[in-house]
Structure 1
Amino acid sequence: MRVLLDTHIYIWRVSRDRRLSAYFRDAIDDAKQVYISAASIWELSIKSARGKLEPDGERAIDELQSQPFIVLPVELKHAKAVRNMPHLHRDPFDRVLVAQALTEDLKLLTADRELREYVRQVVPA
Protein backbone atom coordinates (compact mmCIF):
# COMPACT_ATOMS: atom_id res chain seq x y z
CA MET A 1 0.00 0.00 0.00
CA ARG A 2 1.14 3.54 -0.78
CA VAL A 3 -0.14 6.25 1.56
CA LEU A 4 -0.43 10.01 1.67
CA LEU A 5 -0.42 11.59 5.12
CA ASP A 6 -2.92 14.29 5.96
CA THR A 7 -1.16 17.28 7.53
CA HIS A 8 -2.23 16.48 11.10
CA ILE A 9 -1.21 12.83 10.73
CA TYR A 10 2.23 13.96 9.58
CA ILE A 11 2.58 16.30 12.57
CA TRP A 12 1.41 13.59 14.98
CA ARG A 13 3.91 11.14 13.51
CA VAL A 14 6.87 13.52 13.68
CA SER A 15 6.01 14.67 17.21
CA ARG A 16 5.10 11.18 18.44
CA ASP A 17 1.74 12.56 19.54
CA ARG A 18 -0.48 10.07 21.36
CA ARG A 19 -3.39 11.05 19.11
CA LEU A 20 -1.75 8.99 16.38
CA SER A 21 -3.57 5.71 16.81
CA ALA A 22 -1.93 2.32 16.57
CA TYR A 23 -3.94 1.84 13.38
CA PHE A 24 -2.26 4.84 11.74
CA ARG A 25 1.18 3.95 13.10
CA ASP A 26 0.85 0.46 11.65
CA ALA A 27 -0.47 1.77 8.32
CA ILE A 28 2.53 4.08 8.02
CA ASP A 29 5.03 1.44 9.14
CA ASP A 30 3.58 -1.19 6.79
CA ALA A 31 3.23 1.08 3.74
CA LYS A 32 5.35 0.42 0.70
CA GLN A 33 5.75 4.19 0.20
CA VAL A 34 4.73 7.12 2.43
CA TYR A 35 4.11 10.53 0.90
CA ILE A 36 3.71 13.99 2.39
CA SER A 37 2.27 16.61 0.08
CA ALA A 38 4.08 19.84 -0.65
CA ALA A 39 0.63 21.37 -0.03
CA SER A 40 0.84 20.25 3.61
CA ILE A 41 4.17 21.97 4.09
CA TRP A 42 2.80 25.03 2.33
CA GLU A 43 -0.19 25.04 4.72
CA LEU A 44 2.09 24.70 7.76
CA SER A 45 4.36 27.47 6.48
CA ILE A 46 1.42 29.86 6.06
CA LYS A 47 0.27 29.13 9.61
CA SER A 48 3.82 29.59 10.86
CA ALA A 49 4.15 32.97 9.13
CA ARG A 50 0.93 34.08 10.82
CA GLY A 51 2.16 32.91 14.23
CA LYS A 52 -0.63 30.31 14.42
CA LEU A 53 1.41 27.11 14.39
CA GLU A 54 2.09 24.99 17.44
CA PRO A 55 5.72 23.98 18.18
CA ASP A 56 5.02 20.45 16.84
CA GLY A 57 4.01 21.95 13.51
CA GLU A 58 7.16 24.06 13.41
CA ARG A 59 9.23 20.94 14.07
CA ALA A 60 7.36 19.08 11.32
CA ILE A 61 8.48 21.72 8.81
CA ASP A 62 12.06 21.78 10.05
CA GLU A 63 12.45 18.00 10.18
CA LEU A 64 10.91 17.13 6.82
CA GLN A 65 14.24 16.45 5.12
CA SER A 66 15.25 14.02 7.86
CA GLN A 67 12.00 12.05 7.57
CA PRO A 68 11.75 8.89 5.42
CA PHE A 69 8.78 10.29 3.49
CA ILE A 70 8.54 11.18 -0.18
CA VAL A 71 7.52 14.78 -0.86
CA LEU A 72 4.71 14.81 -3.41
CA PRO A 73 4.69 18.02 -5.46
CA VAL A 74 1.41 19.62 -6.47
CA GLU A 75 1.07 19.19 -10.21
CA LEU A 76 -1.32 20.44 -12.85
CA LYS A 77 -3.20 17.12 -12.89
CA HIS A 78 -3.88 17.48 -9.15
CA ALA A 79 -5.20 21.03 -9.59
CA LYS A 80 -7.46 19.88 -12.42
CA ALA A 81 -8.77 16.97 -10.34
CA VAL A 82 -9.97 19.41 -7.66
CA ARG A 83 -12.29 20.95 -10.25
CA ASN A 84 -14.23 17.67 -10.59
CA MET A 85 -14.63 16.96 -6.87
CA PRO A 86 -17.92 17.52 -5.07
CA HIS A 87 -17.91 20.36 -2.54
CA LEU A 88 -17.99 18.25 0.61
CA HIS A 89 -15.06 20.01 2.25
CA ARG A 90 -14.13 23.70 2.09
CA ASP A 91 -10.45 23.62 3.06
CA PRO A 92 -8.47 24.07 -0.19
CA PHE A 93 -5.41 22.25 1.17
CA ASP A 94 -7.49 19.22 2.13
CA ARG A 95 -9.13 19.21 -1.27
CA VAL A 96 -5.69 19.13 -2.90
CA LEU A 97 -4.72 16.16 -0.72
CA VAL A 98 -7.84 14.26 -1.80
CA ALA A 99 -7.15 15.10 -5.44
CA GLN A 100 -3.57 13.88 -5.08
CA ALA A 101 -4.71 10.65 -3.45
CA LEU A 102 -7.20 10.01 -6.24
CA THR A 103 -4.84 10.96 -9.05
CA GLU A 104 -1.84 9.04 -7.72
CA ASP A 105 -3.81 6.02 -6.42
CA LEU A 106 -2.73 6.64 -2.82
CA LYS A 107 -4.57 5.92 0.40
CA LEU A 108 -5.05 9.15 2.34
CA LEU A 109 -4.50 8.69 6.05
CA THR A 110 -6.70 11.19 7.88
CA ALA A 111 -8.71 11.50 11.06
CA ASP A 112 -10.93 14.13 9.37
CA ARG A 113 -14.40 12.61 8.99
CA GLU A 114 -15.41 15.10 6.31
CA LEU A 115 -12.53 14.02 4.07
CA ARG A 116 -13.55 10.39 4.35
CA GLU A 117 -16.80 11.23 2.59
CA TYR A 118 -14.94 11.76 -0.67
CA VAL A 119 -13.64 8.40 -1.76
CA ARG A 120 -12.64 4.90 -0.82
CA GLN A 121 -9.00 5.94 -1.23
CA VAL A 122 -9.30 7.69 2.11
CA VAL A 123 -8.41 5.29 4.95
CA PRO A 124 -10.68 5.71 8.00
CA ALA A 125 -9.42 6.36 11.52
Structure 2
Amino acid sequence: MQGSNWPIEPIPNEHDVYFRVHKNYIVNDGPYMFKPRAFVERGDKADQHKSMSTNWEEYSTPEQTQSEAKIPMDNGVVAMSVGGLRSENLTVNHAPIPTIRAHTDVNGLPDDIKDVEVRVKLFKHCRWVINPELSTNP
Protein backbone atom coordinates (compact mmCIF):
# COMPACT_ATOMS: atom_id res chain seq x y z
CA MET A 1 0.00 0.00 0.00
CA GLN A 2 1.15 3.50 -0.77
CA GLY A 3 0.28 5.55 2.30
CA SER A 4 -3.35 4.47 2.32
CA ASN A 5 -5.60 1.74 3.62
CA TRP A 6 -6.64 0.75 0.10
CA PRO A 7 -5.06 -2.34 -1.46
CA ILE A 8 -3.08 -1.88 -4.68
CA GLU A 9 -4.89 -3.74 -7.45
CA PRO A 10 -3.95 -4.69 -11.02
CA ILE A 11 -5.61 -2.51 -13.68
CA PRO A 12 -6.83 -4.43 -16.75
CA ASN A 13 -5.85 -3.15 -20.19
CA GLU A 14 -9.54 -2.93 -21.14
CA HIS A 15 -10.19 -0.25 -18.53
CA ASP A 16 -9.88 3.53 -18.75
CA VAL A 17 -8.27 6.11 -16.51
CA TYR A 18 -9.56 9.68 -16.25
CA PHE A 19 -7.28 12.68 -16.69
CA ARG A 20 -8.11 16.33 -16.04
CA VAL A 21 -7.21 18.91 -18.69
CA HIS A 22 -7.18 22.57 -17.64
CA LYS A 23 -8.82 25.04 -20.00
CA ASN A 24 -5.48 26.78 -20.58
CA TYR A 25 -4.31 23.70 -22.51
CA ILE A 26 -7.31 23.61 -24.85
CA VAL A 27 -6.74 24.48 -28.50
CA ASN A 28 -9.53 25.38 -30.89
CA ASP A 29 -7.64 24.66 -34.07
CA GLY A 30 -5.07 22.19 -35.27
CA PRO A 31 -4.93 18.42 -35.09
CA TYR A 32 -4.98 17.97 -31.30
CA MET A 33 -7.65 18.10 -28.62
CA PHE A 34 -5.35 20.09 -26.36
CA LYS A 35 -1.69 20.99 -26.10
CA PRO A 36 0.52 17.89 -25.82
CA ARG A 37 2.39 19.44 -22.91
CA ALA A 38 -0.72 18.86 -20.74
CA PHE A 39 0.63 15.31 -20.43
CA VAL A 40 3.24 15.82 -17.73
CA GLU A 41 4.55 13.91 -14.75
CA ARG A 42 4.28 16.02 -11.61
CA GLY A 43 5.44 15.34 -8.12
CA ASP A 44 7.76 16.05 -5.27
CA LYS A 45 11.27 16.62 -6.58
CA ALA A 46 12.67 15.90 -3.11
CA ASP A 47 11.57 12.28 -3.12
CA GLN A 48 11.93 11.88 -6.91
CA HIS A 49 8.43 10.36 -7.17
CA LYS A 50 6.86 11.91 -10.24
CA SER A 51 3.90 10.64 -12.20
CA MET A 52 0.99 11.74 -14.33
CA SER A 53 -1.93 11.52 -11.94
CA THR A 54 -5.11 9.87 -13.18
CA ASN A 55 -8.16 8.12 -11.70
CA TRP A 56 -9.14 4.53 -12.47
CA GLU A 57 -12.70 4.10 -13.73
CA GLU A 58 -13.19 1.20 -11.30
CA TYR A 59 -13.43 3.62 -8.38
CA SER A 60 -14.14 7.00 -9.94
CA THR A 61 -16.29 8.84 -12.44
CA PRO A 62 -15.41 11.70 -14.78
CA GLU A 63 -17.37 14.04 -12.49
CA GLN A 64 -15.44 12.93 -9.40
CA THR A 65 -12.17 13.42 -11.27
CA GLN A 66 -13.18 16.91 -12.35
CA SER A 67 -14.27 17.80 -8.79
CA GLU A 68 -10.73 17.16 -7.47
CA ALA A 69 -9.40 20.24 -9.30
CA LYS A 70 -8.95 23.56 -7.49
CA ILE A 71 -11.55 25.09 -9.82
CA PRO A 72 -13.45 22.11 -11.24
CA MET A 73 -15.29 24.00 -13.97
CA ASP A 74 -11.98 25.16 -15.44
CA ASN A 75 -11.18 21.53 -16.32
CA GLY A 76 -12.39 19.01 -18.82
CA VAL A 77 -11.81 15.28 -18.41
CA VAL A 78 -10.56 12.74 -20.93
CA ALA A 79 -10.78 8.97 -20.65
CA MET A 80 -7.57 7.21 -21.68
CA SER A 81 -7.32 3.54 -22.54
CA VAL A 82 -5.00 1.72 -20.13
CA GLY A 83 -3.99 -0.74 -22.85
CA GLY A 84 -3.35 2.16 -25.21
CA LEU A 85 -1.10 3.91 -22.71
CA ARG A 86 0.81 0.69 -22.11
CA SER A 87 1.19 0.19 -25.88
CA GLU A 88 3.14 3.48 -25.87
CA ASN A 89 5.59 2.02 -23.31
CA LEU A 90 4.05 3.86 -20.37
CA THR A 91 3.29 2.17 -17.07
CA VAL A 92 -0.12 2.47 -15.43
CA ASN A 93 -0.28 1.45 -11.78
CA HIS A 94 -2.95 1.69 -9.15
CA ALA A 95 -1.57 4.01 -6.46
CA PRO A 96 -4.39 4.78 -4.04
CA ILE A 97 -3.99 7.66 -1.63
CA PRO A 98 -5.94 8.07 1.62
CA THR A 99 -8.70 10.21 0.11
CA ILE A 100 -8.74 8.82 -3.46
CA ARG A 101 -9.00 5.05 -3.89
CA ALA A 102 -9.06 5.49 -7.69
CA HIS A 103 -5.70 7.29 -7.89
CA THR A 104 -3.31 5.85 -10.48
CA ASP A 105 0.20 6.74 -11.58
CA VAL A 106 1.16 6.90 -15.25
CA ASN A 107 4.93 6.89 -15.76
CA GLY A 108 7.37 6.90 -18.64
CA LEU A 109 6.89 10.33 -20.21
CA PRO A 110 10.06 12.19 -21.17
CA ASP A 111 11.12 14.80 -18.60
CA ASP A 112 11.44 17.50 -21.25
CA ILE A 113 7.94 18.82 -22.03
CA LYS A 114 9.25 20.00 -25.40
CA ASP A 115 9.76 16.34 -26.31
CA VAL A 116 6.28 15.84 -27.72
CA GLU A 117 6.69 12.64 -29.76
CA VAL A 118 5.27 10.31 -27.08
CA ARG A 119 2.75 12.90 -25.91
CA VAL A 120 1.28 13.30 -29.40
CA LYS A 121 0.82 9.52 -29.66
CA LEU A 122 -1.37 9.59 -26.55
CA PHE A 123 -4.15 11.50 -28.32
CA LYS A 124 -5.24 8.37 -30.18
CA HIS A 125 -5.98 6.79 -26.79
CA CYS A 126 -8.06 9.74 -25.46
CA ARG A 127 -11.66 10.79 -25.74
CA TRP A 128 -13.49 13.64 -24.04
CA VAL A 129 -15.90 12.55 -21.32
CA ILE A 130 -16.39 16.07 -19.93
CA ASN A 131 -15.83 18.66 -22.61
CA PRO A 132 -14.28 21.80 -21.07
CA GLU A 133 -16.15 24.02 -23.50
CA LEU A 134 -19.41 22.82 -21.96
CA SER A 135 -18.26 23.61 -18.43
CA THR A 136 -19.36 27.02 -17.23
CA ASN A 137 -18.79 28.85 -13.98
CA PRO A 138 -21.96 29.35 -11.90
Fold similarity call, TM over 0.5:
no
TM-score, length of structure 2 as denominator length: 0.25
Greater Rg by CA: 2
**TM score, norm. by length of structure 1:** 0.27
Report the structure, 1 or 2, having the larger helix content: 1
